[in-house]
Amino acid sequence: MAEPTEVAERMDAESREWLERLQAEGRERDAAIAELRELLLRAARFEVRRRCATLSQIRGGDQEDLAQQAAGDAMVAILSKLDDFRGESQFTTWAYKFALYEAAARIRKLSWQGRELPLEAEQWPQVPDPGPAPHGEVEMSDLLTAIRQEIESSLTPRQREVLVALALNEVPIDVLAERLGSTRGALYKTLHDARQKLRARIAARGLTIDGLEK
Amino acid sequence: MNGSSPPDRLVNRLLGPAGPEISCERCFEELDRYVELELAGANADAAIPGMRAHLEGCSACAEDHESLLTLVAGEERPGA
């Protein structure tokens, strides 16, 4: 971790000013907080506009409420984490990510509100047999069959539930975290472990998936 | 195999990225620095190993990345 003097040297003047004003007292701090709130609202509105373009269930007035709430939550998070800002980016970029994160998570949750979460493997696509694959390549249908079998036989119930919901049924991770009383990070760790186990089992079967890697 | 066909995308979602990747928490910590390095034309992937793989494996973090990149890039553009 960088020493405080290193951080001070690295930080640009504008970011340093933001930090000093937010850590001051009285009118200077109040003014800085008002400016930060505008900045966070701009970012939250940006995210809400982007995401809601394809979501008819979130109307105009609700979109503004959503942006205001996201900006408010982002403000609370930022003020509690000011000491974490290391000056490795501009302060405004650092602050924006909190507003974008809060707005995006709220939109994902709203878009799934009232919907039952598909936690079972119900949506396996029917893959037409393309005929013999070139030498060394695995046929897609064989690979999907192997993955499906390993999901059933090699994963723990929790790993299976998380992998099927997130990767197969494309439930947003924030939505699943809320329903399961977990966090994005914890669920992603479970997903990661499940994927690693599947990769190892697929390799143990002698199947190669290199052709799929980017 | 066609890399953009739905079954390919499904396999990629199920098996995730091949290389080592960072966690969602670390991704959030580093996202602002990563985006600024990208916009500066620096080698962001070398500076933060495992970030690119995580963005390929985690759709929520990938969305956060895309949004921050677009927002900051727009602000840097004169007249934006």
- Chain A CA closest to residue B2: A212
- Predicted local confidence at residue A52, as pLDDT: 82
Residue that wins the pLDDT comparison between A63 and A182: A182
* Neighbour count for residue A113 (Cβ, 10 Å): 9
pLDDT grade for A20, boundaries at 50, 70 and 90: very high
- Predicted local confidence at residue A124, as pLDDT: 67
> Do A145 and A102 share a structural domain?
no
Q: Which pTM does this prediction carry?
A: 0.87
pLDDT at B1 over 90: no
pLDDT at B26 over 50: yes
> Do A193 and A95 share a structural domain?
no
CATH number (domain holding residue A155): 1.10.10.10
> Do A25 and A89 share a structural domain?
yes
pLDDT at A60 over 70: no
Identify whether A13 is part of a domain: yes
pLDDT above 90 covers a percentage of chain A that reads 65
- Cβ neighbours of residue A103 under 8 Å, at least 6 residues apart? A43, A44, A47, A48, A51, A66, A67, A70
- Predicted local confidence at residue A212, as pLDDT: 54
pLDDT in tens, A117-141: 777 766 666 655 555 555 545 577 8
pLDDT at A8 over 60: no
- Chain A CA closest to residue B33: A89
pLDDT at A1 over 70: no
Identify whether A146 is part of a domain: yes
Name the least confident of A51-55, A107-111, A157-161: A51-55
> Do A92 and A26 share a structural domain?
yes
- Predicted local confidence at residue A213, as pLDDT: 47
Q: Do A104 and B63 touch (CB under 8 A)?
A: yes
Nearest by CB to residue B25, choosing from A93, A140, A185, is A185
> Do A12 and A73 share a structural domain?
yes
Residue type for position A134: P
For chain A, first and last CA: distance in Å? 34
> Do A88 and A26 share a structural domain?
yes
pLDDT in tens, A64-87: 999 999 999 999 999 999 999 999
Joined together, the tokens standing for residue B41 give: 């034309």
- Chain A CA closest to residue B64: A101
pLDDT at B55 over 50: yes
Going from N- to C-terminal start, the domains of chain B cover: 6-76
Looking at this predicted complex, what is its ipTM?
A: 0.89
Q: Do B23 and A189 touch (CB under 8 A)?
A: yes
- Cβ neighbours of residue A99 under 8 Å, at least 6 residues apart? A39, A40, A41, A43, A44, A47, A70, A71, A74
Identify whether A95 is part of a domain: yes
Q: Do B15 and A202 touch (CB under 8 A)?
A: yes
- Predicted local confidence at residue A130, as pLDDT: 53
- In angstroms, the separation between the Cα of residue B46 and the nearest Cα of chain A is 16
Q: What are phi and psi of B76, to 5 degrees?
A: -75, -20
- Predicted local confidence at residue A129, as pLDDT: 54
- Predicted local confidence at residue A118, as pLDDT: 76
On chain B, the residues whose CB falls within 8 A of the CB of A47 are 67, 71
Cα–Cα distance measured from residue A167 to residue B36, given in angstroms and rounded to the nearest whole number? 30
Torsion of CA B18, B50, B4, A153, to 10 degrees: 40
Mean pLDDT, all residues of chain A: 87
- Predicted local confidence at residue B80, as pLDDT: 46
> Do A63 and A16 share a structural domain?
yes
Instruction: Identify the domain containing residue A188 by its residue range.
Output: 140-212
> Do A41 and A103 share a structural domain?
yes
pLDDT grade for A55, boundaries at 50, 70 and 90: confident
> Do A145 and A104 share a structural domain?
no
- Predicted local confidence at residue A126, as pLDDT: 62
CATH number (domain holding residue A91): 1.10.1740
pLDDT in tens, A22-36: 999 999 999 999 999
pLDDT above 90 covers a percentage of chain B that reads 78
Specify the number of domains making up chain A. 2
Q: Do B59 and A173 touch (CB under 8 A)?
A: yes
Joined together, the tokens standing for residue A17 give: 């000013």
CB A121 within 8 A of CB A64: no
> Do A95 and A16 share a structural domain?
yes
> Do A67 and A150 share a structural domain?
no
